[in-house]
Chain A
Amino acid sequence: MDTINQTNRTLLLDVINPDMPDLLTLVGDVKGIDSLDDDKMKEINQYLECHSYEEMERKFKPVVWSFFDANSQSVKYTLERPENMPESMLTPIYLNEFENFQKTILSVMQSRKAQGLLNTEFSYEKVLEMISPKKVMEDIKQVRKELQYNYKKFTELEEGDPQKLDVGDKLNLLFEDASTNYNNVMAMLPLAIEDIKTRLFLGTSEQQGEHAEIVPGYLSMGNNGELKVLEAKKEESTTLALRDDNINTGLIEAIKEDYQALNNDSNEYVQNLVVRTFCPLVSTEQTVVDVEAEVANYNSYLEFYRASKDNFIKVVKPLLEKLLGIRMFFDQYKAKAKGMAPTLVVANISPEMLAKSSNLPRLITYLNTTNSKNNFKDTIWYAIYPNVAWSQDVTNRIQRERFKGNVKKAGTDVYSMEALATLLDVFKDYRVETFFSFENREETTFNALAAEGIEKAIEKCASLTGKAFSEFAIPVLPNFTVIPRNKSGIILDSRMKVTDGNVVELSKEKEDIMRLWIEGVYINGAYVAAGFRAACQCPEFLKDHFSRTKIKTDMELPGVRFDIEAGNNSLLAYTTMPKEITGFTNSIKAQINQKNFGWVFSSENASLNGEDITNISVYKARNLLYDSEHSSYEPVYKTQVTTYIERILRYVTGDFKEDNIKNFFSNNPQSQKSKWLAKKECINAIIMDGDSLDYNIDDSNGVCELTISFNGSPRNLEVQINRLTSNIS
């Protein structure tokens, strides 16, 4: 791969963080220029190029802004930073690995993948409970255990002991973790909820849900040998308590001090709450519980927590789905040795914006720089255009509720087919293959595809077929389901009520059960398709997947000619996504095979050499170039092979010099064609067995006609390459 060192650089046409630089801004004014200078390209790469999900997260800092609305007494969330809001009133919630909701969704994905269960079999409720206050408390319990252990060690060690300093470092880290909980009220809510619950139900099992006071005692035998639990004497309990209080008292003071230092407007209730949460073993401190007030607090906290979580999830979901898509793009590349790892250039701009006439010259100038040079380091090979509107009227719904609205409804962040067509027309000139998939909704999932087939999708893509750019449009079906819509309910907790006799219990009424609806989390298929195809370009990746077969992999060639549909290729190289459904029916499969439409994933039961394939594989890999002779669409690899050969030809022949072209195709063993033919047995051969690569120079017109015939595929393809040297002679 001396000449073209990568064939999988991908451009993502979507917004991750509107506050960060985007492609248009970075390209800048392009009036009177054909291409960007190297410094500009370096700058663009510095801001937009990502080699891993983590790099993307670092560069774009995906964030949701939250602020409190005093009018509605609620928390508001928005993806765009509200411009009229003072900085101090805004709280950014970064969607990183520590963010609870994202953590939960990732857990769902991981456990489903690990268990290899289908969507219907998987118990989503268990994992989704992670969002509930109980799980938050469980996490904290772990932290506080470590806190107490380390604090005890810290107090026991002598001053000046180097080990004490080490323990001090650990304590600092633990306090830092703990402080993330108590430096904002929102994070305190689950603590407060669980805290009230713990105090009110002390001494009762949660199942009973009743509150009764307890008195510490000890077991003894009566004079007649009967067992008795006697009330413990005060002195004994004090002695017992004092032992652990030495540690706890210090820790309480430390936490109090830390809380006060971090919060200028600290209040005693929250301070006590923090202390109770992180030091619950205070046996000598008696707190009087005002049951009525605590129950009222509990119910209002729970309601507020539910409402804010609900708002948050609705706003964050579209962004989270994009992030999961990017994560899955990179996730597809799993090779033992890193070779041609996929690279993602995040445009960070809405494709609708990019497709405006006023902005297209900028995109053209950028692509002219990346794709029209004999330097292939920055060449863009693929593009991802996610969230294409499924319904035609959706375009009218793209109205963001920026300031006044409550939450952004899922599914509104969709892009039009028209913008896609405009961009494809540009991408065609630079031979960028574009993976696009429809918006995330039930109609675009495996379930729907299995039930309804691909007719609807073909219909929706009709406007893109029969066009010059059709060859570069790859519709991806279906989208992946992380959490199905009908299983996305989360029970947070139940309301409390005070019954007669001042007894507290959790309400069992249906309307008192606090529930959140996530309404399904999906991943656009385009991310996975692009990620998988990008991964297949790497010879290391192919080698890993085909090592069990006798087929060789050439380490110098990219996987441009790799045809995933051929033979058992799709069973040897598959995605990292777990299976979702039991499979397509034969009639649906017949329909797909008959039309040979789109990039279709399959969730089929399959096994190869006795090994079950639990992952989703690629069933079809076609673009929208329709071959009417064979009534089918063309495989995607043909386009990329043509592009690859054209680029290599241009490079090797010094921009199509006649003599060099003749050398290129000659039978000399050193010619490029001979080199390729020598490797035709490899899985990633450029010219495979049965393929042919011929040329014909038309002297009168100064044109070189190149004919690439792909055997084993239904249709031959002809490409015409200009011979620019004719003008010189």
Chain B
Amino acid sequence: MRIVIAEDSVLLLDGLTRLLAAEGHTVTGHGTADSLVRALSTSDAELPDLLVTDVRMPPSHTDEGLRAAVHLRSLHPDLPVLVLSQYVEQSYATELFARGARGLGYVLKDRVADVDEFLDAVARVSGGGTVVDPEVVTQIIARHPGSDLDVLTRREREVLELMAEGRSNAAIADRLVVGLAAVEKHVTNILNKLGLPPAPDDHRRVLAVLRWLDQNGSR
């Protein structure tokens, strides 16, 4: 798989390149947010299979990477993008997922050190899935007033969190060590209880859940 990395720390870029190479991927390009936007903005640009981008980058060291990701997604809605962020704050993720969640990932940078999880996120996002960092989900749910989630059972809440992370029913079943049928039942219950329509695919489900949490959450 051809991967482009936007990362200004040479050390980390080096480590990621070798990690991905060891997994059989090819890092076809790297640079800062600006140079990537320039390279990939044209309609005939050769798109990689995945763009991995840091959020904080020169020149201003604020959120160049995130803005570049949002911009490139508006030009190429099918370009899978995995954002590595230093910020656990929900607002950054909300900005990224504002126009869809298909083939989009938002994970904390520290997650990279957890190599297996990082590679899992790379695989899921490039395959059109959605990844939301568990810590971001935890924070979103933590900010939620408990009352309206009280309708959910404890197990349903666990399932909700995994749904919000963008995991498929099969992955949830795997994680919770239960049968697929049981997970499907939980998901139906959750969607019913929260008044959400049943969603055919995982990434739409993530979006619905995240939006529901966002709208009903306290600011």
A, B bound: no
